[in-house]
Structure 1
Amino acid sequence: MGDLEDEKKLEHGQQLDDGTKRPITTPDEEEKREPIASTAVVEDAPIAPLTATQSATEPVYITGVKLWTVLAAVTLIAFLMLLDTSIIATAIPQITNDFHSLPDVGWYGSAYLLTSSALQPLTGKIYTRFSTKWAFIAFFSVFELGSVLCGAANSSKMLIVGRAVAGMGTSGVQNGAMTILSASAPMHKRPMLLGIMMAVCQLGIVCGPLVGGALTQYASWRWCFYINLPIGAVAILVLLIITIPDDKNKKAPRTPSELLKILSTLDLTGFAIFAGFAVMFLLALEWGGQLYAWNSATIIGLFCGAGITFILFAIWEYRVGDEAMIPYSMIKRRIIVCSAIYIALVFGGQFVQSYYMPIYFQAIKGASPSLSGVYVLPSILSAIIMAIPSGVLVGKFGYYLPWAMACSVLFSIGSGLLTTLTPHSKTVEWVMYQVIAGFGRGCGLQIPIVAMQNDLPPQQQALGMALIGFAQTFGGAVFLVVAQLIFSHGLKSEIPKYAPEVNPQSIIDAGATKFRQFITPSQLPAVLEGYDKAIIHVFYLGTAITALSFFVSLGMGWKKIAQKKKKPVAPEA
């Protein structure tokens, strides 16, 4: 790497390119800056390495209709990713009827999550070494292949394999979408673009149960997977005809030896070790208290194996250095670490609310699955409404930390208010509580990505986004498991307090809506009180982790992002 001054210039959106040495021509400081020293080079890589004769020039971004078209394409694909995670929920009962596979239900989600989480850190290396556009298309094509396998499945095992393949594809989709937007627009425009993408794609969570229920009821559950094919094809066609700016410096391998040389830089050993850690840790969380007791040899062995493997991974990554899948030079940056922890906490809070608010509406309020999806719209719509102006204002004034702090404050207040819900809460109460929490999420959804991009040089940003994406997925998965444990324990402890004559295990086994069939009308109010208290315990968790995110946000730094540069005024003749 070059000296500190050169790195700062790279952080502000400049990139090195082929050609003769020319002076920096930043309009506002053209007369003050010196040409970049000849020692400034991009980290060693087999992708068009820079030489001493090369210099920094302003990157060429896409604008106008092309930029908004790219935004629409990647947002549509990101929407499909979240739609796929929730659309299967309402189809699972019919799937288990067709395949007689009730014991496999856990694997329909676990197979997807395991492959996605294990592969995510490696995707950063892939986007660094290969064409951004073609790598993104490749990952999405793998997801589409998984969708085909799921839709055509003739057995439960085939469906599980399809979910695993789809998870492999999704591992690089979100990272790729953010990488494409970052390469397509200057720093001051990215907060708005990322805010729009992340806010709109959240609709997938809400639309999933609605669309899945309709397709399962009026067509077939297989269309819950086939629906990804025509929609995804449109988005891919758009990307095929548009050139992504950062691909001009990435040369595709022309011979097997060049391909092997690139593959040797991907840190596949580190990936294999990390994948072992991710699989063992997530399986322990998935099986603990469900298939096996927490103190069983299986669960203890998985946790111990995950811990040992993680230590080995850390040692290996430190040994490999800057060529590692997650470079040590990145991990020791406070802003990067805090951004990853922050997004894990915020998305953990979002997942807790997104999964348990529908349970509150269905179990306590007696709403149908489709109607419960409508009832959570205040949270999603308020997040969308707030994400766009917050992104614009971050780009205008340049400071992202106030928005991260506002996100934590509003989200924790909204989550705290949700803990006051009762079986008799009025509509205005649960609507306004969700709106407050949604406004908070809208303030901060894109902030960790903005902070990371502002702190890292361009050649490491794909790695940074892979780390952020993994933290988001991994954090959400971990906190959902913790929420499930709290919820199950809450039902077992609270229902006997209010309805001692009712067996809490029968309520748990019956599900969120069918428990009403096993109790008498006179027992229902007491059971609902106990059920409500169990859900409130989960909302306490959401409140705690979102409040904790406030203190983590302070470590993201009071830094100003690169602003739009003024055009130079031509001297008068």
Structure 2
Amino acid sequence: MSGTKVEISTITTPKIAHSALQFWALFFALCLAVLCQAWYGSGYLLTACAFQLSYGKIYNLYPIKWVFLIALALFEIGSLICGAAPSSVGLIMGRVVAGIGSGGLFAGAILLVAEFKPLNERAFYNGMLGAMYSVASVAGPLMGGAFTERVTWRLCFYINLPLGVVTAVIVFLLVPNNYDSGRDSRRGLPLKKKLQEMDLYGLVVLVPTIICILLATQWGGTKYSWGNARIIALFVVGFVLFVAFVVIEIWQGDRAIVPPSLVKRRTVWACSIFSFCLFGSFLVVAYFLPLWFQAIKGDTATESGIHNLPSILGTTIFSVAAGGMVFGLGYYTWACILGSVLAAVGAGLLSTLEVDSNAAKWIGYQVLYGAGCGFGLNQPLIAIQAALPDFQKSEGTAVVIFMQTFGGTIAIAVAQNVFNNKLVSNILAAGIPVDPAALLSVGATKLQGLVQPQFFGRLQLAYNDSITQTFYVAVATAGLSMAGSILIPWLSVKQAVAPEDAETANTVMPFQHPSSDVDLAMPAILRQSGEIASEDSQSSDIEKVPRNNEVSTYDSQTSEVEKSSVGSTNRKVESIRN
């Protein structure tokens, strides 16, 4: 087999010719867009989550450049409305508009990188984008608190405007028009047909489904009790709408927002489970660790941000490092598994923090946890790029990002309920003369003013125990993410495998580095040479591999196995020698 040679231009050649300066200017702009979206994402999380899946379909039907710019424009308009809002109604409307635009920014940034960089280089750049997203998610709320305390809350939204303008100008100038016109045959359809392809029925049902579920999880146990009629009604309506959405998606087939053929792919559902759980863990720590510094160490919002730097730097450094290692090794599944393990251990150690814990502990625990999130969070997006054909990449990316956001929302809601219930019970058990409702309504920086000095020590102990209990939620979700990580197929970003066949590539030797002469990603070729068995235990997409110079290609739209000549594909075999 040492003489096998395969055409791998599709793996190592970008779709858009560019200079290094052009790409780095564009990449800087994309980082700004991700920063804008993530740094105050909680302000419009509801609508962003509701519309994220629809962007997967929209990016398929229309040019990526223009969809991204329109999403950015909506986000900027919404931010402007929020900043200038004279009332709460105006603020809500602005957050709705900003959320609709926000839903398409991160996915668009990932897809634009994919157009400028070949598959074998994307892990590094996606790692940098992911690092930016993670940093903004952690530092954003702290910056928002500082703006509110020292300047005005309106700056939380106005700051997006200049960053968005810079991003829009660079993307407009550097991304060619219509370069991806051949990406999907549906691009040339008339408007009426495109609207049919967008699955408007599914969208109309999906948005209220997500809103009902998110409102129920956010309000339950905090604003209303879990037994409140409003919460029960939201769950019931959300469940009924979800069932209706599933029925519509099955009926729509490949027109669906979430095509059934996409959901059946192991990479998609395994990455979705992993992203849902690990990002949920990440947001729980990102939200409650600053509260620990403020309540237990007496930090201001700014000081808690500084003390949170080990987590931020750990996530950033290891995210970029993981991207470089995936680029070098070719495989990404190991990073997901390692990320799950390190995050679970790190969150477990954070749950042991006490009132008198020294800096060595809270710094070391943060670095370990940040390393886990850095290794794992961005790999699912690379997995989608490696495993799916071009016409499903945008939909697959949208699904993973949606599950990531949705998981974070659910995990935060669960952790908030754990915190509230534990704090109330601790206050009552300790006999502290303070109204629990008043305690929950004030910020963690104002605890000393609520009780007499002799009770403050007990209040700190109660608060510490309540916050560390939320880290058990982070431990559980990080641990559950392991189930998704071990199910992600061992595919390589260096393998010249046709997208339709990617998930069926043999995965029995995940650590063997592909050489320049041997393409281990071509199971059909290897089987013809008699070196591996024809049974593929990793996937059911291909039932058998014919011989006599033919390979089986799974058509994800028709679920039929067609035969095609090896010579008609872009994988050209010059010679096969045993």
Q: Shared fold by TM > 0.5? A: yes
Secondary structure in 1 matching 2:180: helix
Moved more, 152-161 or 211-220: 211-220
Moved more, 435-444 or 548-557: 548-557
For residues 355 and 254 of structure 1, the distance between their equivalents in structure 2, rounded to whole angstroms, comes to 42
Q: Does 1:407 align with 2:339?
A: yes
CA contact (8 A) 2:275 2:403 kept: yes
Q: For residue 311 of structure 1, what is the aligned residue in structure 2?
A: 243
Secondary structure in 2 matching 1:513: helix
Q: Does 1:121 align with 2:56?
A: no
Q: For residue 536 of structure 2, what is the aligned residue in structure 1?
A: none
For residues 284 and 212 of structure 1, the distance between their equivalents in structure 2, rounded to whole angstroms, comes to 26
For residues 450 and 435 of structure 2, the distance between their equivalents in structure 1, rounded to whole angstroms, comes to 10
Q: For residue 67 of structure 1, what is the aligned residue in structure 2?
A: 23
For residues 562 and 165 of structure 1, the distance between their equivalents in structure 2, rounded to whole angstroms, comes to 40
Identity in percent = 36
Q: State the 1:544 CA deviation.
A: 1.0
For residues 293 and 218 of structure 1, the distance between their equivalents in structure 2, rounded to whole angstroms, comes to 35
Secondary structure in 1 matching 2:485: helix
Tell me the matched-pair count: 493
For residue 247 of structure 1, the aligned residue among 167, 180, 184 is: 180
Q: Mark the CA change 1:220 to 1:291 in structure 2 (over 3 Å): closer, same or farther.
A: closer
Q: Does 1:280 align with 2:280?
A: no
CA contact (8 A) 1:133 1:247 kept: no
Q: For residue 409 of structure 2, what is the aligned residue in structure 1?
A: 477
Counterpart of 1:363, as a letter, is A
For residues 97 and 516 of structure 2, the distance between their equivalents in structure 1, rounded to whole angstroms, comes to 47
For residue 175 of structure 1, the aligned residue among 87, 107, 113 is: 107
Q: For residue 84 of structure 1, what is the aligned residue in structure 2?
A: 40
Q: Mark the CA change 1:296 to 1:218 in structure 2 (over 3 Å): closer, same or farther.
A: closer
Counterpart of 2:465, as a letter, is K
Secondary structure in 1 matching 2:197: coil
Structure 2: gaps (5+ residues): 497-514, 518-571, 573-578
Moved more, 456-465 or 521-530: 521-530
Instruction: Write out per-residue CA displacement over residues 52-92 of structure 1, whole angstroms, 9 at most, x where no aligned residue.
Output: xxxxx984554522222222111111011112336xxxxxx
Secondary structure in 2 matching 1:264: helix
Q: For residue 75 of structure 2, what is the aligned residue in structure 1?
A: 143
Q: TM-score, normalised by structure 1?
A: 0.81
Instruction: Write out per-residue CA displacement over residues 413-469 of structure 1, whole angstroms, 9 at most, x where no aligned residue.
Output: 110000110010001110110000011111112111111221111110000011011
Counterpart of 2:377, as a letter, is L
Structure 1: gaps (5+ residues): 1-26, 34-56, 87-108, 569-573
CA contact (8 A) 1:498 1:529 kept: no
CA contact (8 A) 1:345 1:545 kept: yes
For residues 197 and 505 of structure 1, the distance between their equivalents in structure 2, rounded to whole angstroms, comes to 40
Q: Does 1:238 align with 2:170?
A: yes
Q: TM-score, normalised by structure 2?
A: 0.81
- What's the Cα RMSD here? 2.5
Q: For residue 428 of structure 1, what is the aligned residue in structure 2?
A: 360
Q: State the 1:206 CA deviation.
A: 4.2
Moved more, 474-483 or 243-252: 243-252
Q: For residue 328 of structure 2, what is the aligned residue in structure 1?
A: 396
For residues 471 and 73 of structure 2, the distance between their equivalents in structure 1, rounded to whole angstroms, comes to 38
Q: Mark the CA change 1:503 to 1:210 in structure 2 (over 3 Å): closer, same or farther.
A: closer
Q: State the 1:289 CA deviation.
A: 2.5
Q: Does 1:364 align with 2:296?
A: yes
Q: Mark the CA change 1:254 to 1:116 in structure 2 (over 3 Å): closer, same or farther.
A: closer
Secondary structure in 1 matching 2:40: helix
CA contact (8 A) 2:222 2:417 kept: no
For residue 152 of structure 1, the aligned residue among 78, 84, 88 is: 84
Secondary structure in 2 matching 1:249: coil
Secondary structure in 2 matching 1:202: helix
Secondary structure in 1 matching 2:153: coil
Q: Mark the CA change 1:61 to 1:80 in structure 2 (over 3 Å): closer, same or farther.
A: same
Counterpart of 1:481, as a letter, is A
Q: Does 1:438 align with 2:382?
A: no
CA contact (8 A) 1:499 1:526 kept: no
Instruction: Write out per-residue CA displacement over residues 387-420 of structure 1, whole angstroms, 9 at most, x where no aligned residue.
Output: 1121111122111111101101111111000011
Q: For residue 8 of structure 1, what is the aligned residue in structure 2?
A: none
Q: State the 1:176 CA deviation.
A: 0.7
Q: State the 1:222 CA deviation.
A: 2.3
Secondary structure in 2 matching 1:367: coil
Instruction: Write out per-residue CA displacement over residues 116-135 of structure 1, whole angstroms, 9 at most, x where no aligned residue.
Output: 11111110010001010110
Q: Mark the CA change 1:219 to 1:418 in structure 2 (over 3 Å): closer, same or farther.
A: closer
Moved more, 501-510 or 424-433: 501-510
CA contact (8 A) 2:146 2:301 kept: no
CA contact (8 A) 1:496 1:503 kept: no
Moved more, 233-242 or 216-225: 216-225
For residue 263 of structure 2, the aligned residue among 310, 331, 345 is: 331
Q: State the 1:243 CA deviation.
A: 2.6
